[in-house]
Amino acid sequence: MSNYKELKREAFEANVALPRQGLINLTFGNASAADRDRGVFAIKPSGVDYEELRAKDMVVVDFEGKRVEGDLNPSSDTPTHRRLLLAFPAIGGVVHTHSSHATAFAQAGQAIPIFGTTHADYFNGDIPVTRKMTEAEIATAYEWETGNVIVERMNNLDPLDFPGILVNRHAPFTWGKTVAKAVEAAVAVECIAHMALMSLQLAPKLARIEPELLNKHFKRKHGADAYYGQSSK
Amino acid sequence: MSNYKELKREAFEANVALPRQGLINLTFGNASAADRDRGVFAIKPSGVDYEELRAKDMVVVDFEGKRVEGDLNPSSDTPTHRRLLLAFPAIGGVVHTHSSHATAFAQAGQAIPIFGTTHADYFNGDIPVTRKMTEAEIATAYEWETGNVIVERMNNLDPLDFPGILVNRHAPFTWGKTVAKAVEAAVAVECIAHMALMSLQLAPKLARIEPELLNKHFKRKHGADAYYGQSSK
Amino acid sequence: MSNYKELKREAFEANVALPRQGLINLTFGNASAADRDRGVFAIKPSGVDYEELRAKDMVVVDFEGKRVEGDLNPSSDTPTHRRLLLAFPAIGGVVHTHSSHATAFAQAGQAIPIFGTTHADYFNGDIPVTRKMTEAEIATAYEWETGNVIVERMNNLDPLDFPGILVNRHAPFTWGKTVAKAVEAAVAVECIAHMALMSLQLAPKLARIEPELLNKHFKRKHGADAYYGQSSK
Amino acid sequence: MSNYKELKREAFEANVALPRQGLINLTFGNASAADRDRGVFAIKPSGVDYEELRAKDMVVVDFEGKRVEGDLNPSSDTPTHRRLLLAFPAIGGVVHTHSSHATAFAQAGQAIPIFGTTHADYFNGDIPVTRKMTEAEIATAYEWETGNVIVERMNNLDPLDFPGILVNRHAPFTWGKTVAKAVEAAVAVECIAHMALMSLQLAPKLARIEPELLNKHFKRKHGADAYYGQSSK
């Protein structure tokens, strides 16, 4: 019997949502769900086919990086997830994909400029991109350092205002209060990247959305004055 | 028992058609169906997952904006739908999506130029785009004012000749005699936007379709001389 | 009881293949299957939803254009099909779609340049494009004249060497020995158009395939020396 | 009873995976699985519809090119597969597709530049492209010579470091230790091509990935220091 049945179920649901949403081919990508009270998170095992994945295969790791339940190796990206969960206390889950359009921006080392309300419904500005990693960062604890360059770039940004980032030359990471929210952010980032790419084709010099419209849309969904959805804040 | 069972069913069918047609990710987008005799329309509740949506969840609102049936909050875009239903007496339904290609044009603030007969089968000219909204419009009754800039732009255009529009920086709204027709227009707008984007890649200075061909195709399907389909007009 | 059960079945299968292959949205597009011995062809009824279409709904029309079986109106494009079946005795079926990438070329009035072997497996050169139609042609028997501009452009080309064409400002028509072959050509044209568009993005001045390679690939599949597939030609 | 039941099953699974992964339309493409101990490989029959394909239809051919089991003609590309299996002793399967984005690069005669870690997870550098074939090569044993230009281009490259190539004007071939790995490489090549095309749109002069990052990602998955997945290398 697992001591983390619900947490593993939550992580599993998030992981299998990724290929279903068209965000993932092959075994790229992974999702983790944290239980902060117990100081652990559940994450996908490394290199397992999505079609064969089962909830019980999820690996439970503590915040020091020690495996506390599961026979399989956790995702090789586990240190990045751990770094983000440690740095951003407000989040409960992390998602990593190589979704095509977002990855095209990451490869080009370009932030995704905020051009419309679809973007503003999820992000309070451009989707940021990290600096390139140094040779030393790559040579040592690569995945942990990947987390570090994300944290460095997020410096003065609220992770719930900016629920994702592009790692330079690599691909997007997203997060949220729950791992389900992190999956939603991953879908949004891919969709926003696709639209931005096409808007740039139509208007290569396109200016960003007007601040008042960004502000309006972001606040429709976030914060004390949100009025989107069914909750009664 | 609902007093609006059929109307809610009609709105529900339209709403669930949107993700099935690939026009919608996440919870973006909504459809409304009007019953003009009874002075009401049924619309999607705000922020509910499409996979969980049921016909009975549709919210019925009257033309003054008062909820007359349903426990959930109506879509936050309800005032835009209401504004359009009030302004265009010939229409019976409104659809809003963030479909990717149409939204790319909206973000760029560009009308979709009419380049071929696919477009002319649905629109009697370019798919128009609104002006940007002012700070005052955004700060006050934003969704109602979104309807107002649409109505302003449609000024001298027949809404059945132009069954949709792009809201600047935002995304498309479409409409029709019935909400099913509005869904069809939403599919057409997305498809037309995709084709126009690619035609512009091939020929950046491409001229619009010749007026006689536009006229021919539009009238094959619309008005007194239509001869497309099975009706005996 | 129908006198044309098999022919209608054949036309039906071709018509429903079009949306399944992603070539068609809404009610755009149609396929016809000819029985030359009996001097008739079966074609899709006008404006009927693909999801509701049944084999028995196919309309049978003779080569003079008279409906010989069926209660519904035949496709409004029937005169174009009839014109092509009359002009090209070697073909047994015609398909019309508004598939997105091919239509983008048609709207731009550009032939699809032959850049690779995928193209050469199906066409013995560029996929041609018609001239624009005149005001007089559009004003009179528009659909018949659409067939005429196709026939005019095909002038010195063998319809089995060039199993399709783009109608300027409009969309592709394809054909083949059977309607199933015409469907295959429609899939190929869309796929070829997509690849050509991307190759042009990569290399705007890209030269056409070398004649010896074109020749080799086309003849692998066509004519006396074909050695592709299972037949013993 | 077949003497090669397992091998044919393996080849069959690979072949039907190709359309399911969106890599193949129509009858383009084929996969082969080799049994080096018995000196044979199983390959798809020529021009058979994927929907009708059965495991027992696979054709078994020996390394001299003689059919040793099966009634159907083997794929017309069989000599290319045979050439590659002979040249690269480390591989156990070959896949050929006309997947759209990879083929767009092949048609343009351009290698796919390595821009990010998705690419580096599979290839130890650019995805190479062959030179064009000569008239003499095309006129004689065309498919065998297609293999030869691949082998020539791979000259000083390890086929497990570069599990695929683009044939100029044609399309990709991929390979791997098993045919399942070759299918995975085919999916990766298509995905990498799509991303590279978009990155080039965003940044036409984009530099390649830094060598230290390429090295890191490639070695995470390949060779003595690999630590991705569940194996205990």
Distance, CA of D166 to CA of D178 (rounded, Å): 20
Least confident of B197-206, C210-219, D164-173: C210-219
pLDDT value of position A227: 81
Asked if pLDDT for residue B194 goes beyond 50, the answer is yes
What band does A232 get if pLDDT is binned at 50, 70 and 90?
very low
The predicted model gives B159-163 an average pLDDT of: 98
What band does B113 get if pLDDT is binned at 50, 70 and 90?
very high
Query: Helix H segments across C88-224?
Result: 100-108, 117-120, 135-139, 142-154, 179-202, 211-221
Written as six digits, the tokens of C61 are: 């029309």
Residue of B nearest to C197 (CA): B202
Give A51→chain D minimum CA distance, Å. 13
Domain ranges of chain A: 5-221
Query: B90-111, pLDDT tens digit by residue?
Result: 999 999 999 999 999 999 999 9
Query: D133-156, pLDDT tens digit by residue?
Result: 999 999 999 999 999 999 999 998
Asked if pLDDT for residue C50 goes beyond 90, the answer is no
B182-209 core/surface letters (b: 16 or more CB in 10 A; e: else): bbbbbbbbbbbbbbbbbbbbbbeebeeb
Phi-psi region of B47 (alpha: psi -120 to 50; beta: other; left: phi over 0): left
**How far is the CA of D97 from the CAs of B24, D21, D36, D170, in angstroms?**
31, 11, 23, 10
- Who contacts A116 (Cβ-Cβ below 8 Å, separation ≥6)? A195, A199, A209, B103, B106, B107, B169, B170, B171
For residues A50 and B72, the model is more confident at B72
SS3 call for B33: strand
Identify which of D103, D109, D142 has the shortest CB distance to residue C118.
Answer: D103
Asked if pLDDT for residue C217 goes beyond 80, the answer is yes
Mean pLDDT of chain B: 94
Residues of D with Cβ-Cβ distance to C117 under 8 angstroms:
169-171
What band does C233 get if pLDDT is binned at 50, 70 and 90?
very low
Asked if pLDDT for residue C232 goes beyond 80, the answer is no
**Percent of chain C clearing pLDDT 70 (strictly above):** 98
The predicted model gives C197-213 an average pLDDT of: 97
Which single residue is written with the structure tokens 């081919």?
A25
Asked if pLDDT for residue A22 goes beyond 80, the answer is yes
DSSP state for residue A57 in the 8-state scheme: G
Q: Do D200 and C202 touch (CB under 8 A)?
A: yes
Give C225→chain B minimum CA distance, Å. 36
In a mutagenesis test of the B interface, which of C57, C76, C169 is the best target, namely the one with the most B β-carbons within 10 Å?
A: C169
Give B114→chain C minimum CA distance, Å. 9
What band does D233 get if pLDDT is binned at 50, 70 and 90?
very low
DSSP state for residue B207 in the 8-state scheme: P
Residues of B with Cβ-Cβ distance to A202 under 8 angstroms:
104-105, 108, 110, 197, 200
Name the CATH architecture for the domain at D5-221. Answer: 3-Layer(aba) Sandwich (3.40)
Instruction: Indicate which residues of C carry an active-site annotation.
Output: 121, 228
Query: D99-128, pLDDT tens digit by residue?
Result: 999 999 999 999 999 999 999 999 999 999
Which candidate, C106, C107, C126, C108, places its Cα nearest to that of C116? C126
Mean pLDDT of chain A: 94
Asked if pLDDT for residue B232 goes beyond 70, the answer is no
**Percent of chain D clearing pLDDT 90 (strictly above):** 84
Query: C149-184, pLDDT tens digit by residue?
Result: 999 999 989 999 999 999 999 999 999 999 999 999
**How many residue pairs bridge chain A and chain B with CB atoms within 8 Å of each other?**
83
For residues C113 and B225, the model is more confident at C113
Asked if pLDDT for residue B233 goes beyond 60, the answer is no
Residues of C with Cβ-Cβ distance to D135 under 8 angstroms:
212
**Percent of chain D clearing pLDDT 70 (strictly above):** 98
Identify which of B194, B210, B227 has the shortest CB distance to residue C100.
Answer: B194
The predicted model gives B37-47 an average pLDDT of: 95
Give D1→chain A minimum CA distance, Å. 31
Residues of A with CB under 8 A from a CB of D: 25-26, 28, 45-48, 72-73, 76, 98, 100-101, 103-110, 132-133, 135, 138-139, 142, 169-171, 197, 200-201
pLDDT value of position A17: 93
Q: Do B46 and A228 touch (CB under 8 A)?
A: yes
Identify which of B26, B47, B139 has the shortest CB distance to residue A230.
Answer: B47
Distance, CA of D177 to CA of D88 (rounded, Å): 10
What band does A27 get if pLDDT is binned at 50, 70 and 90?
low
Other chains touching C, judged by 3 or more CB pairs under 8 Å: B, D
Asked if pLDDT for residue A120 goes beyond 50, the answer is yes
Residues of A with Cβ-Cβ distance to B28 under 8 angstroms:
118, 121
Residues of D with Cβ-Cβ distance to C212 under 8 angstroms:
135, 138-139
Write down the catalytic residue from B121, B126, B142, B161.
Answer: B121
**How many residue pairs bridge chain C and chain D with CB atoms within 8 Å of each other?**
82
DSSP state for residue B50 in the 8-state scheme: G
Asked if pLDDT for residue A233 goes beyond 70, the answer is no
pLDDT value of position C231: 63
Is there a catalytic annotation at residue B121? yes
Residue of C nearest to D108 (CA): C199
In a mutagenesis test of the D interface, which of C118, C212, C222 is the best target, namely the one with the most D β-carbons within 10 Å?
A: C118
Asked if pLDDT for residue C24 goes beyond 90, the answer is no
pLDDT value of position A49: 84
In a mutagenesis test of the C interface, which of D51, D72, D169, D170 is the best target, namely the one with the most C β-carbons within 10 Å?
A: D169
Instruction: Indicate which residues of A carry an active-site annotation.
Output: 121, 228
Distance, CA of C152 to CA of C134 (rounded, Å): 13
